[in-house]
């Protein structure tokens, strides 16, 4: 069954996929820099009335927690990546590599870019995890 992005169910499945990924476990093994939040900008015409945050408590190759949060709470994370719905859709479909997207200004990062760049492989493995989720995009 396809899970709507973004939704609580999608985020719960994302956590499961992260924690069952050997690739992420290896690539993220030395990550101790804290929470990464992903924010999808509001798009009322498809039902996203306000910005939606996904809070990922990542630590040493494991996702300790994953949940939907407000954009305000997401901004409290050490790393907060913001993009519009179309950009996140491109990321999930592996049409846009997140670190490249940040460097090109297609995704906005609040946090230390050099730290993110050092973990580009972990970022790629997280994207790989999203591809294993049967995702229903709200604009399709």
Where are the chain's structural domains? 3-137
Q: Exposed, middle or buried, 116 (CB in 10 Å: 0-12/13-18/19+)?
A: buried
The arithmetic mean of pLDDT across residues 122-139, rounded, is 97
What is the b/e burial string over 32-47, where b = at least 16 CB atoms within 10 angstroms of the residue's CB? Answer: ebebbbbbbbebeeee
Q: Into which CATH architecture does domain 3-137 fall?
A: 2-Layer Sandwich (3.30)
The pLDDT value recorded for residue 61 is 98
Region label for 83, one of left (φ > 0), alpha (ψ between -120 and 50) or beta (otherwise):
beta
- Between strands 62-70 and 36-40, the pairing is unpaired
The arithmetic mean of pLDDT across residues 100-119, rounded, is 95
Work out the percent of the chain whose per-residue pLDDT is above 70: 100
The pLDDT value recorded for residue 52 is 98
> How many residues in total does the chain contain?
140
pLDDT tens digits, one per residue of 60-90: 999 999 999 999 999 999 999 999 999 999 9
The arithmetic mean of pLDDT across residues 44-60, rounded, is 98
The pLDDT value recorded for residue 91 is 97
When the pLDDT of each residue in the chain is averaged and rounded to a whole number, the result is 97
Q: Check: pTM over 0.85? Answer yes or no.
A: yes
């Amino acid at each position: 069954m396809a899970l709507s992005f973004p939704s609580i169910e999608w985020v719960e499945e994302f956590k499961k996929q992260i924690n069952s990924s050997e690739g992420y476990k290896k690539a993220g093994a030395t990550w101790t820099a804290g929470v990464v939040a992903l924010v999808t900008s509001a798009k009322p015409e498809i039902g996203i009335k306000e910005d939606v945050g996904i809070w990922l408590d990542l630590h040493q190759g494991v996702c300790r927690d994953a949940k939907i949060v407000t954009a305000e709470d997401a901004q409290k994370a050490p790393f907060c990546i913001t993009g519009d719905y179309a950009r996140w859709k491109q990321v999930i479909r592996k049409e846009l590599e997140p670190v490249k997207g940040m460097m090109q200004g297609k995704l906005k990062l609040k946090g230390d870019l050099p730290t993110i760049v050092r973990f580009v492989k972990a970022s790629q493995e997280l994207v790989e995890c999203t591809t294993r989720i049967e995702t229903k995009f709200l604009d399709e």
